[in-house]
Amino acid sequence: MPRLAHSCIWDGFRFWFMARKGLQVVRSGERTNADGKLVSNLILLSISDNDYASLRPHLEYVSFPNHLVLHEAGGKLEFAYFPNHGLISLVVVMKDGKTVEAGIVGKEGFTGIPAAVGLSRSPFQAVVQITGDGFRVAAGALQNTLESAPHLQLILSRYAAIRGMQVAQTAACNRLHDIGQRLARWLLMTQDRMDSGSLPITHDFLATMLGTDRPTVSLAAGVLQRKKIIEYTRGAVKIVNRKKLEESACECYGVIQQYDGEIGLK
C-alpha cells in the first residue's frame, strides 16, 4: 500500500476514534505556541482548548539536530519534549557502553514521561535519531499545568501506560525474534512516525538500535533488498513495498500498532 494511503487511513482512524470518545479533534497547523510556531504533535492537537491554553505559554519551540541527547539515562529531567517532526529513540545504556533501543517517539508522543507523573529521572537516554523539530516544556511548568488540566493529564497518563506496554513488547521482540523480523518491525514503526518512504538512517545506526552488529544488520537488510522490499543507498533506506515489509515483520508490529490505537492518537 502506498505510504500516503497508509497515512490517510491512520489519520482517518485517529479522528474517528477521538470523535467516538468525545475527544477534541484539531488538525495539524491549527494550533501554535505563543511565538506563532505551528503545532503538529498529536498530543498537543488532541487535548481540549482549555488545557491547551494553559500549556501554550510554556511551549518553547526547539530544533532537534541529529544525535542531540535530550536527556541522559538516570539524569535529572529538566524538560518534556513534544516532537512535531523527526524521530527520538529511547535507549538503554549499559556500563560497558553497549546500547539497545527500548522505544521510539515521533509526532504521536512525547519524551520525559516521568516528569508528567512527578518523577525527576528517566531510565532511558533520549537521543534524536532523525532530524526534526518540536516543543519543550520545563518539567516544573508541566507539573503545575497538570494540576488544573484534567484532559491533558488523562492523555499523558494514557500515553505513559501505552509506552510501558510498548517497551515490554519491544523487550520480548529483542529476545525472541530474529534480526530480519525485528528490522522489518523497526522500519515500519519508523515510517509510521515519519510519513515518508525514505528514512535517513545507516546500518551502523540500525545496529545500535537493534542491539547487534553492523554485519548482521547488513545481511538482514540485504535479504529485504533482494526481495525488492527496500532499497538501500548510502545513509538512507527507502521502503518500496510496505505490504511485503509488514509480512516480513514479527507479530510485535501489529501488537504495538494496536496499542497506538488504544490511546486514540493514531
88: which 3 cell numbers? Answer: 527520538
pLDDT tens sequence across 150-205: 999 999 998 998 888 888 888 888 889 999 999 999 999 999 888 777 888 888 87
Q: Which residues contact 93 (CB under 8 A, 6 or more apart)?
A: 73, 99, 125
Task: Measure the CA–CA gap between 111 and 136, rounded to whole angstroms.
Answer: 9
Mean pLDDT of 11-29: 54
Q: Is the pLDDT of residue 64 over 60?
A: yes
Domains assigned to the chain: 3-173 (2.60.120.10), 178-249 (1.10.10.10)
- Which band of pLDDT confidence, cut at 50, 70 and 90, is reported for residue 23? low
Mean pLDDT of 251-260: 82
Q: Which residue has the higher pLDDT, 194 or 56?
A: 56
pLDDT tens sequence across 67-116: 899 999 999 999 999 999 999 999 888 888 888 888 899 999 999 999 98
Mean pLDDT of the chain: 86
Specify the pLDDT at position 260: 66
- SS3 state of residue 235: coil
> For residue 194, which of 132, 124, 116, 265 has the smallest C-alpha distance?
132
DSSP 90-118: EEEE-TTS-EEEEEEE-TT--B-HHHHTT
Q: Which residues contact 115 (CB under 8 A, 6 or more apart)?
A: 77, 79, 80, 139, 142, 143
- Which band of pLDDT confidence, cut at 50, 70 and 90, is reported for residue 15? very low
Q: Which residue has the higher pLDDT, 201 or 46?
A: 46
Q: Are 145 and 82 in contact (CB under 8 A)?
A: no
Element (H, E) at 146: helix 139-146
Q: Is the pLDDT of residue 16 over 50?
A: no
Task: Measure the CA–CA gap between 197 and 56, rounded to whole angstroms.
Answer: 32
- SS3 state of residue 116: helix
Task: Measure the CA–CA gap between 227 and 141, rounded to whole angstroms.
Answer: 50
Specify the pLDDT at position 241: 96
User: DSSP character for 73?
Assistant: T
Q: Positive or negative, the Cα torsion across 92, 176, 264, 4? A: positive
Specify the pLDDT at position 114: 92
> For residue 158, which of 106, 115, 105, 116 has the smallest C-alpha distance?
116
Percent of the chain beyond pLDDT 70? 88
The DSSP bridge partners found for residue 130 are 87
Q: Is the pLDDT of residue 12 over 70?
A: no
Residue at 51: amino acid letter: D
pLDDT tens sequence across 111-149: 999 998 888 899 899 999 999 999 999 999 999 999 999
Q: Are 115 and 71 in contact (CB under 8 A)?
A: no
pTM value is 0.84
Task: Measure the CA–CA gap between 14 and 100, rounded to whole angstroms.
Answer: 30
Specify the pLDDT at position 25: 65
Specify the pLDDT at position 58: 98
Cα distances (angstroms) measured from residue 266 to each of 7, 108, 164, 200: 9, 7, 17, 23
Specify the pLDDT at position 29: 80
Specify the pLDDT at position 24: 56
Specify the pLDDT at position 136: 98
